Every structure is written in C-alpha cells, then in structure tokens.
Amino acid sequence: MAEYKSIKGFKVQSLAADPSGPQGQVWYNTTTSLLKFQGAAGAWAAGNNLNTRRSDSACAGTNNASLVVCGGYGPFSPGPQDPGGTDCETYDGTSFSTENDMNNPSSYNAAAGTATAALNIAAGASPPSGGSTNMFLSETWDGTCWTNANDMNTGRQGPDGAGATSTAALAFSGTHPENAQSGWTESYDGTSWTNMNNTTSQRRTGTGMGIQTVAIFAGGTIGGGAPGFRNLVENWDGTSWAAGTAFNHGRANLGSSHEGSPSTALIFGGQGPAPLTLTESWNGSAWTEVADMATACYGMGSGGTGNDNAIAIDANPSPTAGVEIWTFANTVKTVTTS
C-alpha cells in the first residue's frame, strides 16, 4: 500500500491544535491523538421571504447574495393566476426589494447576467384559458428599468439559459408551438440572437448552467410529451452539444447554481415524479448527492455559482414566498476505521 508521503511528497504533520487551512489538508492532532483532515460540507438554510408569492420565475446574479428575480407564475391571492407576472425584485444577501416591473408578463422563463445587468430570456406564459403561449421576447435590465430587446428567432415556452453577462448569453431547449420538446439553441451578443447547433436530445423543463461558450444542460423530460424524468447531461463547447456525465436521480423542473463556468455546479429539487429535496454537487468529473433541501419543491427560481453557493426561490407544488440558501464551508473531520 502506498504511503501518504509517496503520494503527496511530504509526511502528515503532527500538530497540537487543529489548523485553519485549505480543504484536503491532513494532520495528526497530538493533543487528542486523532488523525484529522479538512473536509467540506454544504447545507440549506431558510432565507428572508420574497415580497410577491409566485412560481416558475427566473434569477440572474453572480452568487446567492446579489441577484434579480424576474417574472413568475402568479400572484396566487387574491384573484386568479396571471398568465405570467411582470414583478421584479432584487436581493442583497439579506432581503428582497421590489423594483420596476418588466414590460411583458412572463413565466417559465430563463435569465442571464448580474443583479444590475440582466437578460430575461424568451419568456413563455400559460394563459388563463389553458395551453401555452410561445414567445420570442427578451428584455434587458440595467439595475433600474427593463427595456425590450430584439426577439429570439424561435418562439418557445420554458427555455433554459446560460450566461454570466447580459451581452453574452445562450438559450436552448423549451417547448415549441406544437407543444413538443425542442433542441433549439440560440446565442445572444447583446444586440441580436443567432441560431446555433441543436442539443442532441430534445428536452424541456431541464436546467442550464454556465456561460455562453461553456455550458451544461441537465435533466428535463423527453419524448412525445411523456413524463420520462431524465438524468441526462449535455455539455456545450461554444459550437456543439455532446453527451456528458449523467447525474444520480432523474428529474425535471429542477433548480441549479447556473452562473459562471460549470466546472463545478449544484442541482436541487425538481420533479422525479414527486417533488424532491435532493441536491447533487458536480466537481468537474462526478455528481455526488449532498445535503437535502428543507422543502420538497419544483419550478423554483434559482441562482448561484459553482457548488459552494446557491439560492432556491418560490416553488411548487404549493407556491409560497419562501427562500432557501445553500452555503459551503470547510469542516474538520476525524479519520476513522471500521
């Protein structure tokens, strides 16, 4: 069996007290006579509520403490559900503030960018009369107001998206006018949309993570309108989609930490087919199940970056204004044998 020194190039340190150091560090505590290491763990905690109750909204922001929440299905009281809301709120890490409304009602939408410069992608709404309205619309947010942007090339409902800025974004998948899944992919340069290569599998109600040139498309439903909750993953390289590493539990209408390069990521909640609390972390090579959410839910607004911070906002099956926040921290653990 290989020794630690032959693997790492140095011996395990003997220390009288536990250090505060980088993840992965190993040492022998001479005071407690225990071998220890610096691990990491994440957990969900309740955050302050959103101001307006809704579901199926979109979030843009670089982390779980600075984002804009746009659109959504609601309000739920009083009166009937809207085909899609125009509500907009921003989050500063502590509380939500009501901002100027969007120009067009939207739900089942996607978003990209930051809390002060965002893009609402291809809003699609479900009108009170039933069915779906497939929309080409997109809007930009400057931190104060929304402005109509150039339309997408293909109208759809429920697209997924990726993009760290409002001027370099990607939109893909969704439901097209015949109410079937699509693999359409479009790229946005700050002015106009350009058709790109389709996803390899036609899915809807999945989630997108990453940036315009490197992205992940995870989960969703596929095939003839059947439920078929999938654990499929596709990777985007700026030109084409290719099969990626499947995650553990197939689901649709899931949330994700969708901002930034997807070398690390988090997916959570969703339908599979019952509402789920499951959370999975991506480290660039494998998916690992980590701490569950407090409430089983799907259709949430979501955001964050990598696998160390995320936010889940307002969700089905009983939409509230509730919020859960994920944080990731180093923890000291003891090496045991059995």
Q: Is residue 23 part of a domain?
A: no
Q: What is the 3-state secondary structure (H, E, C) of the chain?
A: CCCHHHHHCCCCEEECCCCCCCCCCEEEECCCCEEEEEEEEEEEEEECCCCCCCECCEEEEEECCEEEEECCECCCCCCCCCCCECCEEEECCCCEEECCCCCCCEECCEEEECCCCEEEECCEECCCCCCCECECCCEEECCCCEEECCCCCCCEECCEEEEEECCEEEEECCECCCCCEECCEEEECCCCEEEECCCCCCEECCEEEECCCCEEEECCEECCCCCCCCCCEEEECCCCEEECCCCCCCCECCEECCECCCCCEEEECCECCCEECCEEEECCCCEEEECCCCCCEECCEEEEECCCEEEEECCECCCCCCEEEEEEEEEEEECCCC
Q: Is residue 338 part of a domain?
A: no
Q: Is residue 24 part of a domain?
A: no
At 129 the pLDDT is: 41
Q: Is residue 88 part of a domain?
A: yes
With bands split at pLDDT 50, 70 and 90, how would you rate the model's confidence at 28? confident
Q: Is residue 28 part of a domain?
A: no
Q: What's this model's pTM, rounded to 2 decimal places?
A: 0.83
Q: Is residue 10 part of a domain?
A: no
Average pLDDT, the chain: 84
pLDDT beyond 70 at 193: yes
At 290 the pLDDT is: 92
Q: Is residue 34 part of a domain?
A: no
pLDDT beyond 70 at 124: no
Mean pLDDT of 162-166: 89
Q: Is residue 3 part of a domain?
A: no
Here the CATH number for the domain that contains residue 255 is 2.120.10.80
Structural domain tally of the chain? Answer: 1
pLDDT: is 41 or 69 the higher one?
69
The parent domain of residue 113 ranges over 41-329
Share of the chain above pLDDT 70, in %: 81
> pLDDT digits over 128-159, tens only?
444 445 578 899 999 999 999 998 898 887 88
